[in-house]
Amino acid sequence: MRIVFFGTPTYAGPSLVQLLEDPTVEVAAVVTQPDKRRGRGSGQLPSPVKQVALEAALPVWQPRRIKRDVGVLAQLRAVAADAFVVVAYGQILSPEILDMPRLGAINAHGSLLPAYRGAAPIQWCLYHGETETGVTTMAMDAGMDTGAMMLKASVPIGLLDNALDLAKTLAELSADLLQQTLQRLQAETVPLTAQDEAQATYAPLIQKEDYVLDWRRPALALHNQVRGFYPNSVTGLRGQPLKVMGTVPLGADYWPQLPEPWQSLPQAVAALRSTDKAPPGEIIGLLKGYGPVVQTGDGWLLLAEVKPSGKRAQAGWDFVNGSRLAMAERLGPTA
């Protein structure tokens, strides 16, 4: 099967690598986003997918606006591809492009469609506290992730999984599922199932205000926000921004879900005194070896990893010692 691969970030890399290793697939070319500027005077940074493509000596096309790039459109037609394969490319493909390949365009989307259509399905499924997600391959149409579904595969989500952890898992799952989909597409045995619009939910682009932690919210909701928008959730301490990169909600409901490195946490938490009257955002405990505990609108939240302004990320207990954090200090807005 002759394909053109469309993709840009690290997430798409495993899919391209696996297709390159498949003797039944010929990757004729790769389409990816233009190189990004790395910084003042530092030149351009190629996308992870471009790096894989260059190592494989593949043609690489990087249109700024693919729908209007006459040259790239002509090249895509000339390839005479059986299918276009799309994984986190980053631009919308026009109906003209979708109609070019003989068997259509196939997308691997990082959710169990029709849930979490859109740009950030991994982040928003964590934010909403889902316990399961997966990958869906679909036949692309002109809508936003609205095409007929082909194959699905699901994975459980652990309590402490963050967006980076889950992206790595789903990237490998996408690679396997795409390979299966192409094989069945060529054999004309792949199913096509229309999505139920009544069940559709959306995962829009993340906005700057989505990163701000409101300590009046429940501990679990804040934990889901931190891991969903990893590593960018932010609060304030002593007038400076503090990124919160890892948290653990505390309480008997969560103990059975803790992985092995955290098995002794319940004993440490048992020594904390009840502070029901503490306002949200107040430090109500300093757990040796773990980090600070924050009162929320409902429950306690352990700060397991933070990144102070201008410094590297550090474990919660290292932050307690390095900053000389004290009981009753308050987290909140920086301004």
Q: Known binder of ligand: residue 101?
A: no
pLDDT one-digit tens code per residue, 290-330: 999 999 999 999 999 999 999 999 999 999 999 999 999 99
DSSP per residue, 299-314: SEEEEEEEEETTS--E
pLDDT one-digit tens code per residue, 14-45: 999 999 999 999 999 999 999 987 666 667 89
Q: Is the peptide bond before 333 cis (omega within 30 degrees of 0)?
A: no
Compute the C-alpha angle 265/244/217, nearest 5°. Answer: 80
Domain ranges for the chain? 2-110+130-198, 208-332
CATH superfamily assigned to domain 2-110+130-198:
Formyl transferase, N-terminal domain (3.40.50.170)
When the pLDDT of each residue in the chain is averaged and rounded to a whole number, the result is 95
* Interior/surface letters 304-327, b for 16+ CB within 10 angstroms, e for the rest: bbbbbeeeeebbbbebbeebebee
- Measure the CA–CA gap between 19 and 16, rounded to whole angstroms: 5
Q: Known binder of ligand: residue 73?
A: no
pLDDT one-digit tens code per residue, 169-198: 999 999 999 999 999 999 999 999 999 999
CA nearest 155: which of 136, 135, 175?
135
CB atoms within 10 A of CB 1: 19
Q: Known binder of ligand: residue 114?
A: yes
CA nearest 318: which of 293, 300, 292?
292
Query: What is 208-332's CATH topology?
Result: Methionyl-tRNA Fmet Formyltransferase; Chain A, domain 2 (3.10.25)
pLDDT one-digit tens code per residue, 200-246: 999 999 999 999 999 999 999 999 999 999 999 999 999 999 999 99
Q: Known binder of ligand: residue 113?
A: yes
- So what's the pLDDT on residue 275? 57
Strand partners, 29: 4
